[in-house]
Chains A and B, each alone.
Chain A
Amino acid sequence: MSHEPHEGLRVPHRVVVVGHGMVGARLADELSRRDADGALDVTVLGAEPYEPYNRVLLSDVVAGRTDVAAIGMPTVDDGRTRVLRGTAAAAVDRDARVVLADDGTRHPYDHLVLATGAVARLPDVPGLGVDPGALPAGVHALRTLDDAREVVAATVNAPRAVVVGGGVLGVEVALGLAGRGLPTTLVHGAGAPMDRQLDHEAGAVLRAGLEAAGVAVRTGVRPQEVLVVGGRAVGVRLDGATAEPGETLGAGLVVLACGTAPETALARRAGLAVERGVVVGPDLASVSDPRVFAVGDCAQPPEGSRGLVAEGWDQARRLADALVALAARPRPVPPRPEGPREHLRLPGDGASPSMAVRLGTLLSSRAPGAAAGVDTRGTDVVKVKAGPLSVVAMGRCGTGRAPAPGERAVRLGDPVAGRYVEVVVADGVLVGATCVGDPRVAADLTAAYTRRTPVPADPAFLLLTPVMATAEPASSPEHMPDDATVCRCNGVTKHDIAACVADGASTKDDVARATRATTGCGSCTEAVCGLVGWLGVARKEAVTSG
């Protein structure tokens, strides 16, 4: 029953974490780092039999860009944390404060953390069957390591592939499969891929990029049925404005990338408030039970969620701080007064997170003043892992972006070159950006967005790599300015060398003796020889003509 610490008797504070994915494992690691003296007793239940791995990289595994052996994530190895792999939580008895596992074991807790993640959403179409755990052969979601292995295996024999869903993950997978040489069609219901992050023009540039990489793109169509013969997928029948009646795409491999749904079954059964996800307050505690927390994809925090792993990692960091504080001082921490910073508050648009676990930025947690408010920072940068095709969106972006007062949006559209950049600026900082086809500009914009550094007075300068409008360094002696430094090591200018030649120097060595040019690193030897030659000729001509 109750497990309250007593004065003078140190009883470890029991924390049970349900879920051993990217966020659950990170939380266990963060707790272990903070708890040097064993004030916490941590148990982690993980349904999958594997050690934690980087789910974000599954699309890279499919693309053959990442060795599957290289995606294992750190495991806690502190001799105290119990990690039970292949053990799923079956129920939570909140009155008794105990988690019941599917192997019959019981795990009492002082605090429970749900990190159950999300499951792939499957389209409700004939052919997929009723059991999401038993898709027909050749049909795969891409949520687990097993999924990725099976997709890769299927590429060997399938003649063609269809990827259903043109969000981030769908784009990544389609590019990856095409890169393996498999004829691949991307099927997307909206008018352009990645319409949640990209507006129409950016989407069109992306579409062209996909097609150039060998992906056939069908927009405005949905799967009407997955055709299955003998338990094995053979194609997808399309429906929609741009589909021919009864049109069918033959495919031995169908990858479903239709988004995710928070995994909340356990929380529902335990009677916790669940909407789209487990409803939590700014402190990540369930609004129904202060002893239960939720982090990562299964949680529904007040600021909303985009399904980015950076959000979950940031939550793990914050919750680890809070749990360690609770263990040290076993009273609930009062809710923090402030909400998230205004520009980081995301619209509670109710849309479910994309199936892709995208990424973001976890910046320093040590900046002074960071204590105030819920401190989520720059965790909403979406960057597609698409090799040479660069697609980045952050903050205020995409078709959903309604113009807001005080915002300035500036665009560069360059479809022929495969480039599109939009920046949104308010109060002198970048509040959103979209960048397709220019990786350097994208990297600069991300840095400016996540750190809120000052942007140029004219935001149009953000659209290009900011290089000063100066002439290229003169390559020939006569075009070099008189005050140009020729020998950096010794601070010798063209003027100095000219003076030297005027005094009679006729070789590099003469110049070196008089000015020390070329006597440092020697990099300027060629330039000095060139100058001496040209100046010598010029001098002779001057003498002749004079």
Chain B
Amino acid sequence: MTPAPLAAHPAADAPAPVATHCPYCALQCGMDLAPAAPGGPPGAVAADGREALPVTVAPRQFPTNGGGLCQKGWTSATVLRATDRLTTPLVRGADGRLAPTSWDAALDLVAGRLAALAAEHGPGAVAVFGGGGLTNEKAYTLGKFARTVLRTPNIDYNGRFCMSSAAAAGNRAFGLDRGLPFPVTDLGGADAILLLGSNVAETMPPFVQHLAGARAAGGLVVVDPRRSATARLADPSPGSGQGLGEGVHLQPVPGTDMVVLLALLHVLLAERLADREYLAERASGFDDVARSVAAWWPERAETVCGVPAEELRRVARLLAAASPSRGGRGAYVLTGRGVEQSAQGTATVTAAINLALALGLVGRVGSGYGCLTGQGNGQGGREHGQKCDQLPGYRRIDDPAARAHVAAVWGVDAGSLPGPGLPAVALLTSLGTPGGPRALLVHGSNVVVSAPNADRVRERLAALDLLVVCDVVPSETALLADVVLPTTQWAEEEGTMTNLEGRVLRRRRATAPPGAARSELWILAELARRLGSDVAFPTDPADVFDELARASAGGVADYSGLSHARLDAHEADGAGLYWPCPATPDSAAQESSEPPGVMARRRSDSSRGEHPGTPRVFLDRFATPDGRARMVVVDHAGPADDVRPDAPVHLVTGRVLQHYQSGAQTHRVPELERLVPEPYVELHPLLGLRVGVGDGALARLASARGVIEATARWTDAVRPDTVFMPFHWSGAGSVNRLTTDAVDPVSAMPEFKVCAVSVTPVVEPGPAVEPVETQEVRA
């Protein structure tokens, strides 16, 4: 039976619930949306005086979530009827206020201004900023619009802040970047999981189920400067270091995770625990890497990373014992933003990959390396061409063959496609500067809260001639815009999302959008038409997907064997298909056009002769020219903005369970907002006593870039040399006003996760923090 969109089930007595996935993170928990009866759904979701919600959420059995949902998922329907939901286009008037207008007026205005700016300053004067929450169809169309209609090289997206370091390291080592190159459920069978820089217990709670096997084996190793909720799963007893049954928590100095990895590899080699047979067969570059880690014996590593040498040895032995070459049931190395959002993020992920390769894990069933993708479509978002250096199918924009293929699909001349543009931080920094972009289109991103050095971002946006923001709610960024265009979201649209495992999932429409909200697919098609483009822009998501699939054919991320119809059919008796999934199975002639090394496990069980998709990549070979994984020498350099006498404390940032990213969605859910209503800073009591900031008092944090204030929470979960702040807020407690925009030299990912601050008590609240202007929306 094929689950189908709501439209296929016209008014029945009890309409079938629509099977879709959660609007938030990359775990993409399965959920059912039941149309609510008029008068509002039962339960506690609807708050007093709020419009009744159009659907009711129920968890659905799906491999990633096992029938679980976190509080964000349970309450996700509330965002559909946010009290300030955008329902009509807004244009900033002569009085400086945003005022409602018609679509025609808004689109004519935008098209006219874009055309004028491009005519005066060249096509690069218009920039586009996308998001990892957009569906595959929207991300693809956005990239196509930028390259064929605007012809600007300047398009990048907020995934540059999330996934770019892991992507760069994965591509370099394996020739292919799929967050988890294996089904997430495989994790459950492992004896050990090394988790670096990821607080899954808060960021994707149902994921914790997949750690159960390793916990039962005493093999969950969490590397985090904080004793986070996830670290507590491994070692509930602070400071004992004895790993009470479920694992080990290593608590390095912020910015030194890489040293932990280098030392673990050192121990494997010193104690002859590496899988030499695997390395000889499947990897290259091992000898140089082995020599490079000779300098990181555990005692030296301890003096840099603050993790006792014997704990490093113990963890290395634990991982080795779990590895297949030593008879274990399997081991995984997983990285998250904590280690990736660093000026040495690509190198740190490379060190993690080197470790996994030395253990002989990658490309073996039941073991592996993976990165935990963050945003809902953080995987698909980095495959379809909204990155500044990329075309659909995870192709490089500077590859002539890729340009020719994609240009042919788009019906344009390959020579007309622009080359690589500026990556996110450089793009934002260049806005409104001489020679820089004069106009910016923002889709699915709230850059004044989520980008580093946020005060500068705000300043650059103010320097633009035109800022257009497409969003569902008036985010902080939307409030700065000249034109705001209301879009559909999640339960109001059809499309696909590619989750953290590379599994392509269907997002389905369960309710109509409110007011005049329209899909970005329609908006971009309308703009293209007004800008005089003759390039076709389909607006039906299924049609867009078919075109995306053709554009991806032969690329690394090959979707050409997929369609909405096939995904729907497959979901009835399966649980989604993994890319690569080329259109042409079994044909030897086509095999050579596949990306090298992607060994689809080819079975002929599909009666239609379709490619079965690829749940596990790398089993036979890696996607490199010689089929071997490349080990690359990396070394530790430390944070770009390290502690110093006038900023002697490390600041680390992260998330809380109740909020998501910039909070544009979750701040509008009263149930979540009630639990975590305001920004706060965690600090150790010893630091609090030293600097005179009591528990519950207001603390002032200053970095080389900005000053903010937040309520202090005393906890021994942070090191005494470190403070922690969640990043979900704008205004006086917006931690990204402090973070550094130093970037990784390979991936251009900013170093969100560590910078140096001073911490002082606030005697008179307010004056030191410059207020942030906010614009009211005129009713």
Contacts and interface: CB of A to CB of B under 8 A. Distances in A.
Interface of A: 53-54, 56-57, 60, 65-67, 70-75, 310, 359-369, 378, 381, 383-385, 387-388, 390, 428, 439-440, 442-444, 446-448, 450-458, 461, 465-468, 470, 472-473, 488-491, 516, 519-523
Given A489-B205, A489-B657, A363 B304 contact: yes
A46 to B, nearest CB: 16
Given A439-B309, A453-B721, A468 B648 contact: no
A447 B645 CA distance: 15
23 contacts: A57-B270, A67-B271, A71-B270, A364-B637, A365-B637, A440-B241, A442-B302, A443-B307, A444-B306, A447-B719, A450-B303, A452-B645, A453-B648, A456-B686, A458-B689, A465-B239, A468-B685, A489-B71, A489-B205, A519-B69, A520-B206, A520-B208, A523-B208
B747 interface: no
A451 B241 contact: no
A392 to B, nearest CB: 8
A394 B59 CA distance: 56
Nearest to A57: B297
Given A383-B302, A516-B74, A388 B310 contact: yes
B739 to A, nearest CB: 15
A230 to B, nearest CB: 37
Main secondary structure of the interface of A (DSSP, over half): loop
Interface string B68-97: 111100100000000000000000000000
A461 B271 contact: no
A73 B295 contact: yes
B239 A360 contact: no
A369 B258 CA distance: 24
Contact of B310 (A378, A387, A489): A387
Contacts of B704: 368
Nearest to A359: B300
Contacts of B657: 488-489, 491
Contacts of B269: 67, 70
B168 interface: no
B295 A54 contact: yes
Contact of B70 (A310, A447, A520): A520
Interface of B: 59, 66-71, 74, 201-202, 205-209, 229, 233, 236-239, 241, 253, 266, 269-272, 288, 290-292, 294-295, 297, 299-300, 302-304, 306-311, 633, 637-645, 648-650, 657-658, 675, 684-687, 689-691, 704, 714-716, 719-721
Contacts of B74: 490, 516, 519
A450 B256 CA distance: 13
Contacts of B201: 488, 521
Given A361-B303, A456-B686, A521 B642 contact: no
A74 B644 contact: no
Contact of A366 (B68, B288, B300, B637): B637
B71 A520 contact: yes
A12 to B, nearest CB: 25
A73 B685 contact: no
Given A57-B294, A384-B299, A453-B649, 8 more contacts: A72-B290, A364-B639, A451-B721, A454-B691, A468-B716, A488-B657, A491-B71, A516-B74
Contacts of A383: 299-300, 302-303, 309
Given A72-B291, A364-B637, A455-B690, A520 B68 contact: yes
Which of A381, A428, A451: most chain B Cβ within 10 A? A451
Contacts of B641: 367-368
B714 A72 contact: no
Contacts of B206: 489, 520-521
Given A75-B291, A364-B639, A448 B308 contact: no
Contacts of A385: 297, 299, 309
Nearest to A470: B716
A456 B692 CA distance: 11
A343 to B, nearest CB: 11
Contact of B306 (A366, A446, A490, A523): A446
Which of B70, B209, B300, B309: most chain A Cβ within 10 A? B300
A373 B215 CA distance: 50
Which of A65, A364, A387: most chain B Cβ within 10 A? A364
A467 B715 CA distance: 9
Contacts of A523: 208, 233
Contact of A439 (B271, B304, B310): B310
Contacts of B689: 456-458
Contacts of A390: 308-310
Contact of A453 (B308, B309, B643): B643
B208 A521 contact: yes
A521 B68 contact: yes
Contacts of B299: 359, 383-385
A57 B69 CA distance: 51
Contact of A454 (B59, B288, B648): B648
A361 B291 contact: no
B291 A60 contact: no
A467 B716 CA distance: 6
A366 B642 contact: yes
B204 to A, nearest CB: 9
B643 A452 contact: yes
The 4 closest A-B pairs by CB, nearest first: A364-B638, A521-B208, A439-B308, A453-B721
A72 B294 contact: yes
Nearest to A456: B686
Given A385-B297, A451-B643, A454-B649, A443 B302 contact: yes
A144 to B, nearest CB: 16
A488 B643 contact: no
B207 A440 contact: no
Nearest to B202: A488
Contacts of A388: 310
B264 to A, nearest CB: 13
Contact of B644 (A369, A472, A522): A369
A417 B271 CA distance: 29
B637 A74 contact: no
Contacts of A520: 68-71, 205-206, 208
Contacts of A457: 689-690
A364 B304 CA distance: 10
Contacts of B637: 364-366
Nearest to A445: B306
B684 A519 contact: no
B317 to A, nearest CB: 12
Contacts of B70: 489-490, 520-521
A367 B643 CA distance: 8
Nearest to A388: B310
A461 B686 contact: yes
Contact of A516 (B71, B288, B310): B71
Nearest to B672: A491
A428 B648 CA distance: 11
A522 to B, nearest CB: 6
Contacts of B687: 454, 456
A489 B675 CA distance: 12
B313 to A, nearest CB: 8
Contacts of A453: 643, 648-650, 720-721
A447 B691 contact: no
Contacts of A446: 302-303, 306
B68 A54 contact: no
A489 B291 contact: no
Contacts of B640: 366
Contacts of B658: 491
A488 B232 CA distance: 12
A467 B685 CA distance: 9
Contacts of A454: 648-649, 687, 690-691, 721
B308 A442 contact: yes
A71 B306 CA distance: 23
Contacts of B690: 428, 454-457
B343 to A, nearest CB: 8
A161 to B, nearest CB: 23
